[in-house]
Chain A
């Protein structure tokens, strides 16, 4: 519990502390931010070690009432799914802070305050067990991200920042309305508590499937809209290439690495878990959008001339797999989606770091400016190659595990009506090879003809330090994903049990803990009385 609080509040405390450091002491600010972010990571590692994988429910729960009058609380806790994403957040954050050392050259103090605030918000999103709290964290993130793009970004930063802001805000407004409606409905119609209102996730999730479909579906759609913009799901994706391209390198890394996962996480946590019947109803159209996104993102990546934009569009493609896996509503597919979220965070994050490294050296990202870089930067080439192959989905590296599980989940799903999803989506792996390898060929191979590229320096120590940890996990997940899959296995199964129970009247998996059996019986009773 302490570890959880430390993980969450250390970055906030850090960002406040940094406010009191003199602007000139950049070294102190940088080191301080890195140390705090690392401490938060260490706290999360402690959390991981005391996390019980066999328990599908929430652990380290803190349930503190906050706003009595509408039963909003400071309620946090983690289950297997949020644990993995929490770890991803605390892992990626120090790496981005380290990468900021050589890519951020102005207004250091404000920048690192923003970064730590961002980490605070992201951590909060993944561990909130209260809709009100979730919403606050969700919105908190918007502010630092807006500034990181708008102040430290590229040429069109203002346009990109505003676009990012508008897209997200539109989505969150819908979500806010849905939260209020949901809280009100559950409070007055179902549990009928004193306040006539609740935002307690643990209460709502046990009863929300009793909400009539006609009402439920609007709530589902409002949440889904908000999350799908964040993911982003085709055709809501156009903010992403701009935001990615204009954001400074660490901004892109955080955006790809963690921020997008808030959307996919939300889809699992809220859309599937709170509104199962609507999820059944809308699985097909959403899965279609995911599949279209996979192909569309890949095709558009194919014709990009800016390396960063290419990587940005590839995110649209990769996250399509995640959404497809989620809406397969099978344990295999959701597990695949979760691991794919982690994978995308690692590989795409790493690709952005790599693009940033080359940008720092040449101040351009146009593919045509390069060629034959492998000769002058051999070590860089190896790292680039590994990230690229992870992204292509080569078996033995991380990307394959996620893509494969999501595809097989969708293929065997009793909730999706066709094999076509998986088959079309699988063709995305062909295109992934096309756009990434073509780019790699044009940038790294051939002869080094451009005089400006003759004396490029290979990676420095700090750059090594940012990339090596990611490579370790890229290989680890590829070869032995059980370490990670096991963490979320039981939570995923519990969720699937619930879905199967509601759809087919029978839970699918035997779960190890007594607690969960009791819960299932409880749900069974509710079903019977309905």
Chain B
């Protein structure tokens, strides 16, 4: 059954080729959308079959399915080959499952678009690349997927290439697309060098070989500079793809793309590739305590920073984008404290609720005729009841209200951050969680409640079509109940021994890393369940606190309180409004000096003046000859031929004489 895994990426590829090459002739939207969605649907079914098979016999080792030799030269050889294990199948299910829903949603969302087929071709290509990323059995094929999803992200951010988009030094959507691609390339550079180091030291790029030999020689590698270098470089790649500090700047601008793209690529799947990569290499990260520390710190800082920016934004999608950056920070924090399962669990629940939030946002934007400013919305709950209800469910989930999916995963992360990472790390993360609850309910209030602040003559909000609602409702169900896959032991232990299904499922993948951490950096003592309950109560308190504050602030139609605060703390407000000036910093410190130097020094001085000046000086001697040539244009052939042949003759004669 595991052999089926090679068809999982293949079918979306066929979908891409069919829709991409023949989409123009297929004409009917339903047909194009059907083919593309169907391809992803089939992949989902195949993943399910493998999943059930795997659930039946819970193999401890990955099953490798080689397809063909990809690149082989000298000592280097790497295959196109796929790997079926618990981690890859879980991601495959998320990608194809959520992917399928978003494909269906897009049929409604993109209705009437000039480039309808192009959109679906790109989406299918994206799914293909993403599946390569997660199913690959080696670093290089993952890298292909890694860059491939980056390409699709680029193509889809700039999908409406003739539309304007507002951002720091961004005028067109295409500028935002470029920014995404280039910032990601900086991260990819890290990934690339990490791969070189891995190949140099392990002589292979196959995951199983590298990870097995690393964990079997853990005493040699633990804390070594090599492991730290490899993992930090890899993590640089993750900060690019998963939008963490210092490379987080591209994701908010990626909102220039159509909303289903934001949901699929920039919330549910692609941006979690960084978490996947660390999870896949958990052994290597476990071997480097320094890198783990770095991952945790970056994760926590990003979670906090992005959440704080999210509080003041007024663009519907940008609030969600900062929220995504922040939630990804939570996941990295989890990985950094060694809670690999919790990180991956949050990837899953986040895919549900954040995918849903974006799709609901898309439904709102669709219904509001491309309006994205939440200050010009309000009272939409009556106009789009289903969208509102699903959005509400997702909001509860992300805020961390008990029993909704986000509660379980986020609470686990907070708890483990406290018990493994210390109280300070927990405090920052908890503050970020508080911000999250606040900005989400701010969003909910401003968009769906209160007075209708839009122009009734121009805008007539309406509920989304059925294809879109289908995706919303399905995701709402998952957002509500998906968390039960990972009931914490402290709670579920009353009912059965190991209630945390996700933990059990991923155990074979992370057991090596967990063993290493236990062996070299044991957590001193596990606090009692009672402490865990206490923290659970605290995190519920935080969520409710954030919600109540937002309610109080925005109940009042004048927004007197927030306005007062913004005025009073103008400095802080400006920092947040300008996203901590990170974009401006990069432009003035890196981009501008580089371009100026290239233009004014390298090109105009070095190339033109120094090198060419030198050569031209030499050539002045020959210029007289050149002048001659200029006058007798057509005669040059013979002249030069004669000269050449003459030269050769002279040389030959000289040779003959001298020998």
Contacts and interface: CB of A to CB of B under 8 A. Distances in A.
A441 B636 contact: no
B75 A394 contact: no
Given A401-B71, A438-B178, A481-B71, A147 B636 contact: yes
B144 interface: yes
A422 interface: yes
- Chain B contact residues: helix, strand, loop or mixed: helix
Given A139-B648, A143-B640, A426-B193, A335 B73 contact: yes
A264 to B, nearest CB: 16
Nearest to A419: B196
A300 B602 contact: yes
B659 A69 contact: yes
Interface string B48-82: 00000000000000000000111111111000000
Interface stretch (A48-56, A200-208, A362-370, A489-497): A489-497
Contacts of B162: 372, 375, 445-448
A433 B185 contact: yes
Interface string A139-181: 1001100110011000000110011001100000000100010
B637 A110 contact: yes
A408 B76 contact: yes
A437 B627 CA distance: 41
B100 to A, nearest CB: 24
A427 interface: yes
B385 interface: no
B73 A332 contact: yes
B362 interface: no
Nearest to A336: B73
A441 B74 contact: no
Contacts of B599: 303
Contacts of A407: 192, 196
Given A139-B644, A427-B189, A433 B144 contact: no
A482 to B, nearest CB: 6
A191 interface: no
A300 B598 contact: yes
B240 to A, nearest CB: 11
A437 B182 contact: yes
B189 A426 contact: yes
A150 B636 contact: yes
Which of B71, B189, B603, B648 has the largest number of chain A CB atoms within 10 A? B71
A374 B200 CA distance: 44
A195 interface: yes
A332 B75 contact: yes
B564 interface: no
Contacts of A333: 74
Contacts of A412: 75, 196, 199-200
A377 B200 CA distance: 46
A445 B158 contact: yes
Nearest to A67: B652
Interface in B257-288: none
Contacts of B171: 446
B4 interface: no
A166 B174 contact: no
A191 B615 CA distance: 40
Contact of B612 (A151, A238, A437): A238
A73 interface: no
A324 to B, nearest CB: 13
Contact of A302 (B68, B175, B192, B598): B598
Contact of A408 (B199, B597, B615): B199
B388 interface: no
Contacts of B143: 395
B659 A147 contact: no
B618 interface: yes
Contacts of A235: 611
A465 interface: no
B640 A480 contact: no
B150 to A, nearest CB: 9
Contacts of B619: 162-163, 166
A331 B200 contact: no
Contacts of B72: 482, 485
B161 interface: yes
Interface in B169-195: 171-175, 177-178, 181-182, 185-186, 188-189, 192-193
A430 B182 contact: yes
A374 B182 contact: no
Contacts of B644: 139, 142-143
A389 interface: yes
A515 interface: no
Contacts of A434: 182
B641 A143 contact: yes
A404 interface: yes
- Chain A contact residues: helix, strand, loop or mixed: helix
Nearest to A302: B598
Nearest to A412: B200
B427 interface: no
Contacts of B525: none
Nearest to A409: B74
Interface string B125-151: 000000000000000100110011001
Given A166-B618, A412-B199, A434-B182, A496 B74 contact: yes
B178 A489 contact: no
A110 B70 CA distance: 45
B71 A404 contact: yes
Contacts of A197: 659
Which of A296, A299, A401, A408 has the largest number of chain B CB atoms within 10 A? A408
Nearest to A180: B655
A429 B611 contact: no
A330 interface: yes
Contacts of B181: 433, 437
Which of B73, B173, B619 has the largest number of chain A CB atoms within 10 A? B73
Given A303-B598, A389-B151, A405-B76, A166 B182 contact: no
A304 B177 CA distance: 21
A423 interface: yes
B73 A485 contact: yes
A146 B174 contact: no
A480 B622 contact: no
A411 interface: yes
A441 B172 contact: yes
Contact of B75 (A143, A330, A401, A481): A330
A299 B161 contact: no
A235 B609 CA distance: 13
Contacts of A479: 70
B595 interface: yes
Contacts of A395: 140, 143-144, 147-148
B607 interface: yes
A396 interface: yes
Contact of A437 (B76, B178, B602): B178
B656 interface: yes
Contacts of A32: none
Contacts of A423: 193
B626 interface: yes
Interface in B561-612: 594-595, 597-599, 602-603, 607, 611-612
Given A299-B598, A433-B185, 18 more contacts: A70-B655, A136-B648, A146-B640, A162-B619, A167-B615, A296-B602, A299-B597, A300-B607, A302-B598, A332-B73, A372-B161, A394-B148, A412-B199, A437-B154, A445-B158, A445-B172, A481-B70, A492-B73
13 contacts: A110-B637, A158-B630, A163-B619, A238-B615, A389-B151, A412-B199, A422-B193, A426-B189, A434-B182, A441-B177, A445-B161, A446-B172, A485-B72
Interface of A: 69-70, 110, 136, 139, 142-143, 146-147, 150-151, 158-159, 162-163, 166-167, 176, 180, 195-197, 235, 238-239, 241, 296, 299-300, 302-304, 330-336, 339, 372, 374-375, 389, 394-396, 400-401, 404-405, 407-409, 411-412, 419, 422-423, 426-427, 429-430, 433-434, 437-438, 441, 444-448, 479-482, 485, 489, 492-493, 496
Question: Which 5 pairs between the two chains have the least Cβ-Cβ distance?
Answer: A331-B74, A335-B73, A332-B74, A445-B174, A395-B144
